[in-house]
Structure 1
Amino acid sequence: MQPVRRLDPLPDWVSDPAVISIMQAAMAGGGRVRFVGGCVRNSLMRLPVADIDAATDVQAEEVMRRIEAAGIRAVPTGLDHGTVTAVKDHVKVEITTLRVDVETDGRRARIAYTDDWAEDAKRRDLTMNALFLDPDGTLYDPVGGLADIETGRVRFVGEAERRIQEDVLRLLRFFRFHAHYGRMAPDEEGLAACKRFAPLLPNLAGERIRDELLKLLAARDPAPTFYLMRQAGVLSHALPEATHLRRLAALTLLTGEMEEAAPDPLRRLASILPDAKAGKEVATRLRLSNAERDRLTAMLKPAADIDPAAGPQDRRRLLYAIGDETYRDLVLLDWARRLADQPGAVPAWVEAGYRVQLAAADGWVRPKLPVNGEDAMALGIPTGPAVGKLLKQVEGWWMEADFRPDRAACLARLKELAG
């Protein structure tokens, strides 16, 4: 495997003292360790690097012994697959022994270790993920990934159909990477292979599909890729409930500036689903966390109370009832719905109303009811449902008064209701 060029200057993360120490320890006694995958790809694209992965021709047990001998923490994160994670000064480097696939079934592979860098590259999913980088900046490109990075072309390594047959999830990774990095029409061979094997997607574990879809939805503008997936017959197998793609496009346009650094994939997921029933089905099938499920279904409830003409008191009352996060979600989703259903026809006053609502949510501090259960019991109300019922009545009166009554007024109202 011949080098193609040298990176000069080195990316900052390569020069990190902790990374240097880990790489030196892993190579002590012979063998090579090279960075691979996303850290190399993102550095070439001048994008932030979150995770540092490396490959080596040294066996995992020996890598672990060397790291520990250097006083560095070694975590056996995947010894069965040849992976060790080295941790120093809160920096993690995941090091995996070079591998070849012996047998695959579309979900998992039986592997064998090798010392052939080019063979390891051939088993990887996409060309842009199969570049190796020496600690001194020497770059290796065994499958033509550098040209694909430079042109924004997402392409499978070798035969697209074979790569997908090895792991069907790669089908979704193809679209996810196209959404994030693609700058030209999708690779025809890859797209054709995705069309062919899309019916196999439901055989995958729900959480694997979830992770890919949420990462895709975190792209700067995921809507064109979702349209592409629908045209290719992939979306009907990956997420058949996704019926409102125009709303996703509208939402992305609306939140572009505010979400530039951190898009909200769950809100974007809600935008393409029809109702709370579909949201619950998706949450179950994709194994969303309880918090994600609850937020998703809350976003998909009818937004009848979201009225761009609402006055300040009505806005505050709704904010108090549902919380600022759900309120903000519903405002943005209702705004996106209007834009998608009536493109170019949303009156200026309506859009101005939505902006006012968002501003109200941004500055919202939830007031606290000035009385509590102890105050009710001090009036002789026995512990139990009667206390909660009485406080609910006081709270409703307090809300109708725009949260203005102070503790003295609330105590008086509580006493009045208690009889």
Structure 2
Amino acid sequence: MIHVCGSWLSDAATQSVFDALTAQGHEVFVVGGCVRNALLGVPVSDVDMATNADPETVIALAKAAKLRAIPTGIEHGTITILSNGTPFEVTSYRRDVATDGRRATIAFAQSAEEDAHRRDFTMNALYADRHGQVRDFVGGLADVQARRLRFIDDPTDRIKEDYLRILRFFRFSAWYTDPQGGMDQEALAAIADNLDGLSALSKERVTHEFLKLLTAPNPSLAVATMQHVGVLQALLPGASAQSLPVLIDAQNQIGVQIDVIARLVSLGAAEPEAQLRLSKAQSKALALYDAQRGGSERPAVLGYRYGVEPSLQILCLRSAALETPLPALARQDVERGAEAVFPIKAADLMQDYSGPALGEALRRLERQWIASDFKMTREDLLRAE
């Protein structure tokens, strides 16, 4: 028997939910990502549960145990239970009655095995009881051990139930599979045959899934395979995966944070904002990176204008676009520029200038100061003026 363990399972908050839902003999398992991650040795964040109790019974059992029950997705059979302040999504066993590629009409099922067969990938359909004993109905254990991603049963059927699973396939591949093992050819063939379904998905869902893919430590293989089967072009016309691995190498070399917008810009898509739903902050970063990746401002000047992290991302993007090494002292120069403070204030020039002329004088002196590599003092600049 295979078991999982960890504080996420043994914690009193988790066990209290088990206590509540099994009080009248119902079946309850933890399921999905928490079991997968525990088996892979990856940190567990969210703990989801599945049960043969219907949603109304779940609510009643939670209340009887003095736990708060929130009907966050009751139409889909999901109730969120708060235990010691921790949320647990509890979903009644389900089976799909009808699907349209975006959403499903569901009916409640009686067994975990039936519930497993409506999920997406074998590694996401592993169940464990309160003691950690794993139940596998679809061959997920062998796939987890091989770090291999496969659709459950027929890939085409799973994709047509929800076309977002095409993107999820590449996201989970980037995060959890062995790149040396390659990707499941049956899955890729089904994906290539169902590209038209991507157009039915909302921009919000596509953006959420695609950006999560780009947050993987190294999504290069997944994105290159997306391009190979036509997914990347269907999502982002004009995009290419060619520069992404070069960008990631540069980012790793200089020690910057993972920046999904920099990675998105490296793909070179035509008007990505027309295809994705970005936040204001993301759109601002995209505009900056796109404008500056072909620029020539020195690292110190970038640091002065944009700060350390954005400037380093810009330098990585330039390195990837031109396939040239990063400047030798890139980080030191960027940090030096970020620390530089223009020594002239408007009050220093008010005796001689006002209005627009004052602003132009300040900008002129700032240009001189930058051209001096930030070395000119206040006195130097005032004498020059």
Q: Is the 8 A contact 1:154 1:177 kept in 2?
A: yes
| SS of aligned partner of 2:105 | strand
Q: Counterpart in 2 of 1:310? A: none
Give the residue type in structure 1 aligned to 2:309.
E
2:3 to 3, 7, 10: 7
2:244 to 243, 248, 260: 248
Change (3 A) 1:164 1:387: same
Q: Counterpart in 2 of 1:155? A: 150
What is the alpha-carbon distance in structure 1 between the residues aligned to residue 12 and residue 333 of structure 2?
A: 46
| TM-score (structure 1 length as normaliser) | 0.82
Report 1:397-416 matches (<5 A).
Answer: 397-404=368-375
What is the alpha-carbon distance in structure 1 between the residues aligned to residue 25 and residue 185 of structure 2?
A: 43
Q: 1:150-199 deviations in whole A, cap 9, x for unaligned?
A: 11221111111111111111112122222222332322221111010012
Change (3 A) 1:369 1:268: same
Q: CA deviation at 1:67?
A: 2.8
Q: Is the 8 A contact 2:77 2:91 kept in 1?
A: yes
In structure 1, list runs of 5 or more residues that go unmatched.
308-313, 340-345
What is the alpha-carbon distance in structure 2 between the residues aligned to residue 264 and residue 301 of structure 1?
A: 16
Change (3 A) 1:388 1:199: same
1:357 to 317, 320, 330: 330
| SS of aligned partner of 2:327 | helix
Give the residue type in structure 2 aligned to 1:329.
Q
1:64 to 36, 59, 77: 59
| TM-score (structure 2 length as normaliser) | 0.88
1:395 to 346, 366, 373: 366
Does residue 1:300 correspond to 2:290, yes or no?
yes
Q: Counterpart in 2 of 1:232? A: 229
Does residue 1:34 correspond to 2:29, yes or no?
yes
Change (3 A) 1:258 1:48: farther
Report 1:18-417 matches (<5 A).
Answer: 18-183=13-178, 184-243=181-240, 245-256=241-252, 263-273=258-268, 278=270, 281-306=271-296, 314-339=298-323, 351=325, 354-362=327-335, 365-370=338-343, 372=345, 375=347, 379=351, 385=356, 388-404=359-375
| SS of aligned partner of 2:320 | helix
Q: CA deviation at 1:242?
A: 1.3
Q: CA deviation at 1:129?
A: 0.5
Q: CA deviation at 1:400?
A: 4.0
Q: More deviation in 34-43 or 15-24?
A: 15-24
In structure 2, list runs of 5 or more residues that go unmatched.
none
Q: Is the 8 A contact 2:81 2:88 kept in 1?
A: yes
Change (3 A) 1:41 1:304: closer
Give the residue type in structure 2 aligned to 1:269.
L
Q: Is the 8 A contact 2:31 2:50 kept in 1?
A: yes
Q: Is the 8 A contact 2:116 2:137 kept in 1?
A: yes
Change (3 A) 1:196 1:369: same
Change (3 A) 1:60 1:337: same
Q: 1:52-80 deviations in whole A, cap 9, x for unaligned?
A: 11111112233233334434343332122
Q: CA deviation at 1:22?
A: 2.9
C-alpha RMSD of the superposition: 2.8
Change (3 A) 1:362 1:154: farther
Give the residue type in structure 2 aligned to 1:206.
K
Identity value in percent: 37
Q: Is the 8 A contact 1:376 1:387 kept in 2?
A: no
Q: More deviation in 210-219 or 51-60?
A: 210-219
Q: Is the 8 A contact 2:174 2:218 kept in 1?
A: yes
Give the residue type in structure 2 aligned to 1:147.
A
Change (3 A) 1:31 1:327: same
Q: 1:71-115 deviations in whole A, cap 9, x for unaligned?
A: 434333212212122234443221111111111100111111122
Q: Is the 8 A contact 1:176 1:213 kept in 2?
A: yes
